[in-house]
Structure 1
Amino acid sequence: MKSLVISLFAEDKPGIVDALAKVVKQHQGNWLSSRFAHMAGQFAGFVEVNIAQDQAEPLLEALNALPGLTVHTADPVTAQQPPMTTAYFSIMGNDKSGIVSEITSILQQFNVNILEFDSSCNSAPNWGSEMFTAQCKVAIPDGLDIDDVQQALESIANDLMVDISFKKTS
């Protein structure tokens, strides 16, 4: 058996996931995990499938034949990950250019890996201005004091005019 990570991109319309699932099933693939999103009329996602070695190439050919779908594949990385702590934080404030850049710059300084990052801009109910919100899941390397990361993020919150809420887990 071979494990594949498939990324896909298309103009959003009903039936994309169904078409993908049918092709995986037709090639006796096992759907292991997935994540999909709709944004600005576009659809994007990732799927990990387990498939017999002799079915991998026919699966890819069938996926590439689906109309309007851009497909890329990669083999999963199986390198052992170093021990780490998982942390979550959220950001909320008036939207302005550079918020994501400033946050990710701090994370990079500490060699913190972003595992998930979901953000959006929505109209504030009472003001009509755009509000930026984000939820982030990060991996803090062992040996790094998570409080240092939190303090660094909080130190830029005033300049960015955002609130940052932090939740530590393991």
Structure 2
Amino acid sequence: MNHLIISFTSPDKPGLVDKLSKVIKLNHGNWQTSSLHHLSGFFAGIIEVAVTSEQTDLLINALKSIPEFSLNIEVANVVSPKVPANLVLELTANDRAGIIQEISSVIHQQGGNLLKLVSSQESAAHSGQDLFKAKATIAIDKSAIESLITEIESLADDLMVDISR
């Protein structure tokens, strides 16, 4: 069994997920995991699809023939073992350029591996100021959790960190 990692963008319009999922189903693929988003008039995402070795090339060719999609497809012949995610951080701060770099740098310096990051920008309820919000899933040695949290919290006075383990 192969796993295809498919990243794509397309000008957004209704029916794009239906179109993708039909091509995957008709070519014997099994939609595994995905993250799909509307971003500035585009629909973008990343999908993991399981497919037999015999059907892999057929599915790739069918996906590449879908009009208006810009695709990048990687074939993973060996699925990496699942890494336990032992820490989830929910972060809120005043938005500013470079905040993702600061947070990811601290995670890296503390020996963590960022497994998933979902971020957004929204207006604060009372002030209307732009807020950065993120949910980060991190694999990290238990002995490094406290120092990681301390370092992230020290990035800015306005950075709030909620933790789940």
Q: Same fold (TM over 0.5)?
A: yes
Look up the SS of the partner of 2:155 in the other structure.
helix
What is aligned with 1:66?
Answer: 66
The answer on 1:165 being equivalent to 2:162 is yes
Structure 1: which 5+ runs fail to align? none
Provide the aligned length of Structure 1 versus Structure 2.
164
Report 1:21-170 matches (<5 A): 21-76=21-76, 78-80=79-81, 86-140=86-140, 142=141, 144-158=143-157, 161-167=158-164, 169=165
Structure 2: 5+ residue runs without aligned partners? none
Deviation for aligned residue 1:143: 5.8
**How many angstroms apart in 1 are the aligned matches of 2:117 and 2:80?**
23
Identity, % of aligned positions: 34
1:17 CA drift (Å): 1.0
TM-score of the two chains, using structure 2 as the length reference: 0.87
Change (3 A) 1:34 1:96: closer
RMSD between aligned alpha carbons? Answer: 2.0
Question: What is the TM-score normalised by the length of structure 1?
Answer: 0.85
> Where has structure 1 moved over 3 Å in runs of 4 or more?
none
CA deviation vs aligned residue, 1:81-140 (integer Å, no higher than 9, x gap): 6x6552111221222222212111111101211111111111222212211111111111
SS of 2:54's equivalent in the other structure is helix
Does the 8 Å contact 1:8/1:46 carry over to 2? yes
| Other structure's SS at 1:75 match | strand
Distance 1:109 1:80 in 2: 23
3-state SS of the aligned residue for 1:35?
strand
